[in-house]
A and B are shown apart, each in its own frame.
Chain A
C-alpha cells in the first residue's frame, strides 16, 4: 500500500512538473479555415529555423478568443473576423500595435450538385449547416447574409450549428445536410461537396483575417520572427495557392 502511494505521488509530481512550454515553442491560435495554409507556412518556417517548434490550435475564432481570455498559452492569433480580434484588443490581451491583415476570403454555399443555385433556393432544402454564430465567424457572416436576404425566419429550424467552419464542411461532405455555408477556400478542399453558389457580397461584410501577436507572444522572439514571415511574399504565395486573396 505504502509503495502504491509512493508510486502514485511520484507519477503525479512527474505530471505536474512536466515542462510546460519550452522557450522555442510558438503557440499558434488560428481560425479553422486557415489550417492547411498555416500548417504549410509553419512547416516551411520550422524547416528554415531548426529548433522552433509550433503548437497549433485550430478552431472557431470566438472559441480561441475565449480560450486566450481564460489564460490559454497563445503567442499569435489569427481570427476570421475583426470582432474577436477587437474583443482581445479591448481586454489588452493582444499587442495592439501588431494587428494587421493576413488575408481575405469569400462566403459560398457548398453541397451536393444540383441542390441549390441561389439564396432563394435555400427555402426548399431540409437541413443546412452553419457555424454557430456565437463563436464561428463563418456562421456569423452567413446569418448576416440570411438576415439581409430576409430568409432567417424561414430557415431558423433548419440550421444545424457546427462547432467550426470545418465541422460545417464535414456535414456537407457526408451528405447529412443538403448544404453548408463555408468559405470558398474550404469548399475547394472538399471532395464530394461542390460550390453551389457564391453568397452575394452585398449581403455580408467582407471576410477579413486580422492577425496579431499576443502580449506574451510579443516577448517570444520566434513568434515575432514567424509573425514577420507571415507578412512576407512567401506567405502570400502559399495563401494564393490555397485560393485566398491578399488583395
Chain B
C-alpha cells in the first residue's frame, strides 16, 4: 500500500474544514427550524417540513445545479454578490454551502426527534411559573435538546465529509483549494495506474467516517438512557 501524497493530506484537511464549517453554520438555523416544526402552529408547516427534507431525497447533483444557478456568475444572487466583490463559485465557501444544504435535513431530524421527546409538562410548568416563550426556549428546551444537537451535528458532519455531487458542481475540483477527499478519490478512480492511491485515501475516508459514527452512536445511546 502506498503512502498519501501531499495533495491527499490537503484533501483530508479540506474535507474536515468543510464539514466543521458546514455543521457550525447550520446549527443555529437547524435549531430554529426544528423548534418551529416541533412547537410551532402555523399554516404551511407541512410545506416547510417538505422543503427542509427535500435535499435528503434529491440527488445532490440537483442541489448543486440549483446552487450554481443561484450563485453562479449569471445567477441572480451571484450577480449581486459579484458587484459586492464576493465570489463564491469555485471557492471553499461554495463547498461549505453545498455541504450545509445536503446535511441540513439530518441535523433537523435529530433535533426534532429529540424535541418531540421533551416532556410537555416541563414546558407548561415553566410557562405557568411565569417564563416567557424565549425563557422556556433557552432554559428548558435548549438544554434538553443538547443530545439531539450533538447527535445531529455528528451525523451532519459525517455526511458533509462525503459530499460529492453538489460540491463538484459549485466548488469545482482545485487541488489544495477545493479538492476534498471524495473529489480526490473520484479523480484517482478515473485515472489509470492510481489504484493504490485511491485505495489509501478510501481507507482514510472509511476510518474517519467510522470514528464519527461511533461517536454518534455513543451520543445516541447516552441520550436514550437519559430519556
Residues of chain A touching chain B, judged by Cβ–Cβ distance below 8 Å, are: 60, 62-63, 65-66, 69, 84, 87, 126-127, 132, 134-135, 156-163, 171, 174-177
Q: Are B174 and A163 in contact (CB under 8 A)?
A: no
Interface centre among B74, B90, B190, by most chain A C-beta atoms within 10 angstroms, is: B190
In the complex, the answer to whether B176 meets A66 with C-beta atoms within 8 Å is no
Q: Give CA–CA (A48, B140) in the complex, Å.
A: 78
Once the chains bind, are A157 and B187 in contact (CB under 8 Å)? Answer: no
Separation in Å of the A100 CB from the closest CB of chain B? 22
Q: Which of B73, B90, B187, B188 contacts A160 (CB 8 A)?
A: B90
- B55-81 with Cβ < 8 A to chain A: 68, 72-74
Closest 7 CB pairs of A and B: A134-B191, A135-B191, A161-B173, A160-B172, A63-B190, A66-B192, A175-B73
Q: Does B193 contact A (CB under 8 A)?
A: yes
Query: Do residues B89 and A176 form an inter-chain contact, with CB atoms below 8 A?
Result: yes
B160 within 8 A of A: no
Q: Is the CB of B190 within 8 A of A66?
A: yes
Contacts of B192 in A (CB 8 A): 62, 65-66, 69, 84, 87, 135
Q: Which residues of B lie under 8 Å from residue A174 when comparing CB positions?
A: 72-74
How far apart sit A65 and B191, CA to CA, in the bound complex (Å)? 8
B179 contacts the other chain (CB 8 A)? yes
A65 and B73 alpha carbons, distance in the complex (Å): 35
Taking the closest CB of chain A, its distance from the CB of B168, in whole angstroms, is 8
Q: Distance (Å) between the CB of A94 and the closest chain B CB? A: 13
A175: chain B residues at CB < 8 Å are 73-74
Chain A nearest CB from B218 CB (Å) reads 37
- Enumerate B168-221 residues with CB–CB distance to A below 8 Å: 172-177, 179, 187-188, 190-194
Chain B residues with CB under 8 Å of A161's CB are 172-175, 179, 187
Q: How many residues of B contact A (CB 8 A)?
A: 21
Across-interface contacts of B89 in A (CB, < 8 A): 176
Complex formed: what's the CA distance from A174 to B170 in Å?
Answer: 12
Cα–Cα, bound, A26→B72 (Å): 40
Task: Knowing A160-B172, A176-B73, A176-B90 are in contact, say whether A62-B177 is a contact too (CB < 8 A).
Answer: no
A163 vs B191: C-alpha distance in the bound complex, in angstroms? 10
B174 adjacent to A159 (CB under 8 Å): yes
Residues of B within 8 A of A162 (CB): 173
Besides A157-B177, A161-B179, 17 other CB < 8 A contacts?
Answer: A62-B191, A66-B190, A66-B191, A66-B192, A69-B192, A87-B192, A126-B87, A132-B173, A134-B187, A135-B192, A156-B175, A157-B174, A157-B176, A158-B174, A160-B172, A171-B172, A175-B73
CB-based A-B contact count at 8 angstroms: 64
The one of A65, A132, A159 in contact with B187, judged by C-beta atoms closer than 8 angstroms, is: A132
Chain B contact surface mostly: loop
How far is it, in angstroms, between the C-alpha of A134 and the C-alpha of B68 when the chains are bound? 26
* Inter-subunit contact A160/B173 (CB<8 Å): yes
**Contact B194–A177 (Cβ < 8 Å):** no
How far, in angstroms, from A158 to B90 measured CA to CA in the complex?
10
Q: In the assembled complex, which residues on chain A have CB atoms less than 8 Å from the CB atom of B193?
A: 87
For residue B187, which residues in chain A have a CB less than 8 angstroms away from its CB?
A: 132, 134-135, 161
| Nearest CB in chain B: distance from A83 CB, A | 9
| Contact status B174-A160, CB under 8 Å | yes
The complex places the Cα of A7 from the Cα of B188 at a distance, in Å, of 40
List the A side residues contacting B194 at CB < 8 Å.
134
Residues of B within 8 A of A176 (CB): 68, 72-73, 89-90, 172
Q: Please indicate the chain B residues that have their CB under 8 angstroms from the CB of A158 in the complex.
A: 174
How far, in Å, is B186 (CB) from chain A's closest CB?
8
Tell me the nearest residue of chain A to B175, going by C-beta: A161
Q: Which residues of A contact B191 (CB under 8 A)?
A: 62-63, 66, 132, 134-135
CB distance from A135 to the nearest CB of B (A): 4
Residue numbers in B under 8 Å from A63 (CB-CB): 190-191
B129 CB to closest chain A CB (Å) equals: 54
Nearest chain A CB to B163's CB is how many angstroms away? 17
Interface of chain B residues 136 through 175 with chain A (CB within 8 A): 172-175
Q: Which residues of B have CB within 8 Å of A69?
A: 192
- Alpha-carbon gap, A163 to B190, bound state (A): 9
Show 21 A/B contacts (Cβ-Cβ < 8 Å), sorted by A: A63-B190, A87-B193, A127-B90, A132-B190, A134-B190, A134-B191, A156-B176, A160-B90, A160-B172, A161-B173, A161-B175, A161-B187, A163-B173, A174-B72, A174-B73, A174-B74, A175-B73, A176-B68, A176-B73, A176-B90, A176-B172
